[in-house]
Amino acid sequence: MKKSVLTRYRVMAYVTGVLLILLCLGMVGKYVLELDGAEAFTYVVSLAHGWLYVLYLVFAFDLGYKAKLPVPRLLWVLLAGTIPTAAFFVERRLSRQVEPLVADAAAAPARA
């Protein structure tokens, strides 16, 4: 497996996780604290998170398919972008699991 597959997933996991945390903070500001401007902030962040989550799903599925993850594990990885802070923990654990596969691919000789 190429290192770029893991890198794409990792970047999108962090982006999705940060946007989800910002979205939760925006919701607290909008509904609990009733802050001015929180509605516009929440709208923009929710749009960004929604579109980038779709990209996260594509990259996570690609990584899971190439790493031959079992279906329950793959589903957990795919859902991690919808649970605040879960994307960070799942990304770290999955990266540790997949990094040996990337190293093995790098050590394998190129075919002529």
Cα distance between residue 18 and residue 9, in whole Å: 14
Distance of CA 3 to CAs 67, 100, 101, 106, 110, Å? Answer: 12, 11, 9, 8, 15
DSSP 80: G
| This prediction's pTM | 0.85
Q: pLDDT tens digit string along 46-88? A: 999 999 999 999 999 999 999 999 999 999 999 998 999 999 9
Q: pLDDT tens digit string along 31-53? A: 999 899 999 999 999 999 999 99
Q: Which residues contact 50 (CB under 8 A, 6 or more apart)?
A: none
Cα distance between residue 33 and residue 40, in whole Å: 15
Residue-level pLDDT at 15: 95
